[in-house]
Amino acid sequence: MKRSYSAFAEDIPPYSGPKAARDSYTDLKQLSAIPGHIYTCPELQILPGQRRFSKVPWLVPMLELLPPTSIGHLKEWGLSTVFVLAKNYNKLVHVWESVTAMAELWHPQTNSFVFPEFEATILLEELEIMLGLPRYQRGEEPTISYTVEQINSWSILAYITTKKTDLYTMTSGMHVHLLPIAQWITSQCKRKTTNYTAIAKAAAICICGVILFPESDGAISFGNLSIIDSISEGMKIGQAVLGFLYASLTSAALGGPFYGSVIALELWMGMHIQFRVVEDLTTECKTMLNHPLAYVGGRLHMST
């Protein structure tokens, strides 16, 4: 049934000019007015969820066994930078005080960090460059068709292995466990099988699950499994990674757990923000030794 404009026009307040619009937006930006926002909790010490970003002992040994052909597939799919970050993951040091400070400035409605004099946010173009992901090109929309169908994680994992025992250990509930997948990769590499594409797809699930979609301890959701699997089909995943990071920042800002790509956030922070010691604002925080930028800065053509 069609509704005429006049049917609901009376509910729309008249435009009161640019000054009123600016004032109303200023009211919207007040973080202290958002119920449950951690901006109003100065006693917060630990950002919920940060413990899931601990070291992953199985990751590097598995990556070191990958055959060159499988690594070539990962590079072909645009995961070179993600692969480098994964190989150095256990060396990275996350500065959670800085991440918490940024979460305190996150506005869930505008998806931006609200500073005293300006706002800033993580752009899709920035994220794709920092993580080396395939770039989304404006004008590609007419060439992309979308189908909505039920995600079948079994069919995705069946490309890797058809053994029921392997499939059952890899899944539980609505999640896929990364450790059994890494163990399958290790087994295939040690046996020197030639199933290079399947090994590469399994490795992509592991490295993207750790670097781009860290959701729960050593596991990813079926939805993110489908996104990662689409990489090998030539799909661009930058929007999904960014949306996942936005959602995790909103969760953290409202007192929930942080579960997105902390590496992507720290790369953006490292490029745009200089942190200083509170007690002495003339002292810069030297945290770059094991910062993610220390491993991808060369690829971004950044100086030391």
For the stretch 112-158, pLDDT in tens is: 998 888 889 999 999 999 999 988 776 655 454 454 455 666 788 88
Phi and psi angles of residue 246, each rounded to the nearest 5 degrees, phi first: -55, -45
Which pTM does this prediction carry? 0.81
Q: How many CB atoms lie within 10 A of CB 276?
A: 11
Phi and psi angles of residue 107, each rounded to the nearest 5 degrees, phi first: -105, 120
Lowest model confidence (mean pLDDT) among 39-43, 67-71, 74-78, 269-273: 39-43
Contacts of 201 (CB under 8 A, 6+ apart): 73, 159, 160, 229, 232
Lowest model confidence (mean pLDDT) among 124-128, 158-162, 268-272: 158-162
Burial level of 186, CB count in 10 A (0-12/13-18/19+)?
middle
Give residue 35's region: left, alpha or beta (phi > 0; psi -120 to 50). Answer: beta
- The domain spans of the chain are 59-133+151-272
Question: Distance between CA 128 and CA 81 in Å, rounded?
Answer: 10
Question: Distance between CA 236 and CA 242 in Å, rounded?
Answer: 12
Per cent of the chain over pLDDT 90 is: 35
Six-digit token string for 252: 């953290």
pLDDT at 278: 67
